[in-house]
Amino acid sequence: MKLGRNDPCWCGSGQKYKKCHCEFDEKLEELKERGYTVPDTKLIKTKTQIEGIKESAKINIAVLDYVGEHIKAGISTEEINGWVDSLTRKLGGIPAPLNYEGFPKSVCTSLNDQVCHGIPDENTILKDGDIINVDVSTIYKGYFSDSSRMFCIGNVSEDKKRLVETARESLQKGLDAVKPFAPLGDMSAAINDFVKSRGYTVVREIGGHGCGIEFHEEPWVGYTIPSGTGMIMAPGMCFTIEPMINMGKADIVQDDENGWTIYTEDGSPSAQWEIQILVTETGAEIISY
Mean pLDDT on 125-130: 98
- As a whole number of angstroms, the distance between CA 93 and CA 64 comes to 14
| Contact residues for 98 (Cβ-Cβ < 8 A; gap 6+) | 85, 104, 105, 106
The reported pTM is: 0.95
Is residue 93 a contact partner of residue 288, using CB atoms and an 8 Å limit?
no
Predicted local distance difference test score (pLDDT) of residue 70: 98
What is the pLDDT averaged over residues 129-157? Answer: 98
**For residue range 235-278, what is the model confidence (pLDDT) as tens digits?**
999 999 999 999 999 999 999 999 999 999 999 999 999 999 99
Task: Output the pLDDT for position 102.
Answer: 97
200 within domain boundaries: yes
In this prediction, residue 2 carries a pLDDT of 81
Q: What distance lies between CA 236 and its chain's CA centroid?
A: 16
Tell me how far apart the alpha carbons of residues 141 and 156 are, in angstroms, rounded to a whole number.
Answer: 39
In whole angstroms, how large is the CA radius of gyration of the chain?
20
Could you give the number of structural domains in the chain?
1
Please provide the average confidence, as pLDDT, over all residues in the chain: 97
Residue type, 44: I
Dihedral (CA of 246, 155, 88, 53) sign: negative
pLDDT at 193: 98
The mean pLDDT of 82-99, rounded to a whole number, is: 98
Domain contains 90: yes
Asked if residue 11 is part of any domain, the answer here is no
pLDDT at 110 > cutoff 70: yes
Average pLDDT over residues 152-178: 98
DSSP string, 105-173: SSSEEEETTEEE-PPP-TT-B--TT-EEEEEEEEEETTEEEEEEEEEE-SS--HHHHHHHHHHHHHHHH
Query: What is the rounded average pLDDT of the residues 176-186?
Result: 98
Provide long-range contacts, Cβ within 8 A and 24+ apart, for 212-216: 212/45, 212/49, 212/50, 212/53, 212/143, 212/144, 212/145, 212/238, 212/276, 213/42, 213/45, 213/49, 213/142, 213/143, 213/144, 214/144, 215/96, 215/100, 215/137, 215/139, 215/144, 215/146
16 occurs within a structural domain: no
Average pLDDT for 161-188: 98
Nearest CA among 236, 170, 226 for reference residue 20: 236
Is the model's pLDDT at 1 over the cut of 70? no
Q: Is residue 184 part of a domain?
A: yes
Contact 142, 52 (CB under 8 A): yes
- Classified as helix, coil or strand, 59 is helix
% of the chain surpassing 70 pLDDT:
100
The H or E element spanning position 262 is strand 262-264
Does residue 118 sit within a domain?
yes
pLDDT-based confidence at 227, cuts 50/70/90?
A: very high
State the average pLDDT over residues 217-228. Answer: 97
Give CA–CA dist 152/255, Å, rounded: 24
Which of 2-16, 17-31, 84-98, 103-117 shows the lowest mean pLDDT across its residues? 2-16
Domain that holds residue 256: 39-288
Check if the beta carbon of residue 217 is closer than 8 Å to that of residue 254. Answer: no
In 10 A of CB 110, how many CB atoms? Answer: 26
**Residue in 199, 285, 282, 281 with CA at minimum distance from that of residue 239:** 285
Residue 174 domain-assigned?
Answer: yes
Assess if residue 218 is contained within a domain.
Answer: yes
State the CATH number of the domain containing residue 157: 3.90.230.10
In 153-228 the beta strands, taken as DSSP E runs, fall at 182-183, 201-202, 208-210, 217-221
